[in-house]
Amino acid sequence: MKTPFDPRHQKRRKAIQSLFAWAFGKGETKNILASQVISNLEKIDEIISKYAPEWPINQINKIDIAILRLAIYELLIVKSEPPKVIIDEAVELAKEFGSESSPSFINGVLGAVLKDYGKPN
């Protein structure tokens, strides 16, 4: 059973926090996972723009964009975990860090991405 203390969840939490901080400072991050996301940012942001067209990247809540970037990186680039696990984790992070509407927004965008890009592992 998944717990908030699961090492994979903790790793994602730290990456989200680093991506969130990076979004404000545009400096370097020491978090390896966040750095890998940042190095693929152009491709990831293109996908977000396609699946959330009513929300330009710079108008999406910074925590939501951090969660989306990490989840899309894991879904489409790393592909090491089942998509349902990645989406569930992203929704849980949105509940923890985001606004009231964050979980449904994150779930909707990632569900649409998965429908077009991936088949369950």
Give the structural domain span for 89: 41-121
Residue 34 domain-assigned (yes or no): no
Question: What is the pLDDT, as a whole number, of residue 2?
Answer: 60
User: Chain-wide mean pLDDT for the chain?
Assistant: 89
Query: CA-CA distance, 44 to 49, in Å (whole number)?
Result: 9
Residue 81 domain-assigned (yes or no): yes
Q: pTM of the predicted model, to two decimals?
A: 0.90
Share of the chain above pLDDT 90, in %: 70
Structure-token pair, residue 73: 């990186």
Query: CA-CA distance, 44 to 30, in Å (whole number)?
Result: 20
Structure-token pair, residue 30: 């020491």
* Chain center to CA of 37: 9
Q: Which residue is associated with the tokens 């449904």?
A: 104
Question: What is the pLDDT, as a whole number, of residue 120?
Answer: 47
Question: What is the pLDDT, as a whole number, of residue 1?
Answer: 42
The residue with greater pLDDT, 78 or 120, is 78
Question: What is the pLDDT, as a whole number, of residue 5?
Answer: 77
> How many domains does the structure of the chain reveal?
1
